[in-house]
């Protein structure tokens, strides 16, 4: 096969008219080739841009998804929507649990009343009634726990809804429970003590951080959690769940705060009457103890034929006036 001819060789032997026609045809072919080249480059550019954009959007979407998902994960150590505190006779500690995951329902703590009183309290830190009740009775109830007579499960709620001071205060409590669970009772007491002097709109997030720091809770992660309202969605969900149902209680739903449930029975007496609360607790304890002893079964399952309460937890001493 002979070598390809140069463009000059193509014109040899042609008339002027034919050379002009050939020139036009070659120019047309070149224009078509250039247009085809530009189209290929444009397609490659658009395709590459789409791939890059999809990759970026996928990365952003994944980050956004993780961020949204994180806002729906509950605080660690509050799988029941509350923190359970127990005592060993001298100190109080929080029960550690996993965090509530998105789409999961809380797991209510088991109501085993055979050993200690089970105290469950729902609190809204913006409520003056909560402040009154806690100021009058809080130290005594926590004293029962420290002495080993009772356990206490605290459930923070925000009846005024998302964005309220109550919601931000409940979030602050959840942040402490999540990061330093054994300090959650300290956080609770600090939030209760702050209620009577709250400004309009309550404390800001920075002021809540300062409140925790003044109480000795100086963890940077907790401060960041409070400022970022990390568990605000959980607070909303926990409040809605409490309004719908109160586990292990003769109260069907939360309508007002504070709500104190003792071994499944809600206290309905005066919030500032320590004697009335002591009487209620003693009556509930006596009733539960009698019911437990009435089956005549000892701890090892044998029947002793008696109805005494030997071996059961003694009734807590009356609480001092607040």
Question: Residue 139 maps to which CATH number?
Answer: 3.40.30.10
- For residues 80 and 97, the answer to whether their CB atoms sit within 8 Å is yes
Distance CA 213, CA 172 (A): 12
CB atoms within 10 A of CB 90: 8
230 assigned to some structural domain: yes
- For residues 270 and 276, the answer to whether their CB atoms sit within 8 Å is yes
DSSP 274-294: HHHHHHHHHHHHHHHHHHHHT
Judged by DSSP in three states, 71 sits in helix
What pLDDT is attached to residue 254?
A: 98
pLDDT averaged per 10 residues in sequence order, the chain, 322 residues: 55 74 77 79 70 55 44 91 95 96 93 82 98 97 95 98 98 98 98 98 98 98 98 97 96 97 96 96 86 58 42 52 43
320 assigned to some structural domain: no
Cα 135 vs. chain centroid, distance in angstroms?
Answer: 27
212 assigned to some structural domain: yes
Is the preceding peptide bond at 258 cis, omega within 30 degrees of 0? yes
Distance CA 276, CA 253 (A): 23
Is the overall model pTM greater than 0.85, yes or no? no
What pLDDT is attached to residue 301?
A: 42
What pLDDT is attached to residue 314?
A: 54
301 assigned to some structural domain: no
Count: domains in the chain: 1
Nearest to 154 by CA among 209, 252, 91, 78: 78
Q: Count H helices, E strands: the chain?
A: 9, 6
What pLDDT is attached to residue 318?
A: 54
Domain holding 248, by residue range, is 83-281
255 assigned to some structural domain: yes
Burial class (CB in 10 A: 0-12, 13-18, 19+), 314: exposed
256 assigned to some structural domain: yes
What pLDDT is attached to residue 65?
A: 40
- For residues 118 and 265, the answer to whether their CB atoms sit within 8 Å is no
305 assigned to some structural domain: no
141 assigned to some structural domain: yes
């Amino acid at each position: 096969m002979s070598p390809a001819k140069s463009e000059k060789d193509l014109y040899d032997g042609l008339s002027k008219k034919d050379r002009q026609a050939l020139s036009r045809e070659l120019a047309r072919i070149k224009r078509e080739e250039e247009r085809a080249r530009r189209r290929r480059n444009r397609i490659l550019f658009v395709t590459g841009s789409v791939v890059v954009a999809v990759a970026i959007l996928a990365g952003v979407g994944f980050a956004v998804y993780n961020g949204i998902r994180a806002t729906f994960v509950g605080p660690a150590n509050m799988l029941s929507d509350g923190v359970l505190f127990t005592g060993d006779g001298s100190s109080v500690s929080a029960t550690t649990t996993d965090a509530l995951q998105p789409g999961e329902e809380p797991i209510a703590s088991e109501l085993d009343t055979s050993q200690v009183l089970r105290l469950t309290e729902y609190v809204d830190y913006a409520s003056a009634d909560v402040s009154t009740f806690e100021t009058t009775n809080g130290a005594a109830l926590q004293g029962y726990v420290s002495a080993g007579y009772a356990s206490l499960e605290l459930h923070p709620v925000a009846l005024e809804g998302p964005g309220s001071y109550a919601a931000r205060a409940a979030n602050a409590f959840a942040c402490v429970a999540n990061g330093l669970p054994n300090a959650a009772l300290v956080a609770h007491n600090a939030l209760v003590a702050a209620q009577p002097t709250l400004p309009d709109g309550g404390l800001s997030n920075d002021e809540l951080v300062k409140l925790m720091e003044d109480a000795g809770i100086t963890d940077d992660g907790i401060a960041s959690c409070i400022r970022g309202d990390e568990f605000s969605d959980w607070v909303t969900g926990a409040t809605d769940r409490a309004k719908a149902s109160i586990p292990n209680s003769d109260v069907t739903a939360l309508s007002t705060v504070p709500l104190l449930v003792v071994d499944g029975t809600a206290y309905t007496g005066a919030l500032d009457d320590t004697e009335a609360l002591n009487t209620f607790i003693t009556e509930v304890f006596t009733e539960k103890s009698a019911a437990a002893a009435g089956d005549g079964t000892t701890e090892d399952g044998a029947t002793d034929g008696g109805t005494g309460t030997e071996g059961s937890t003694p009734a807590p001493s009356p609480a001092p006036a607040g």
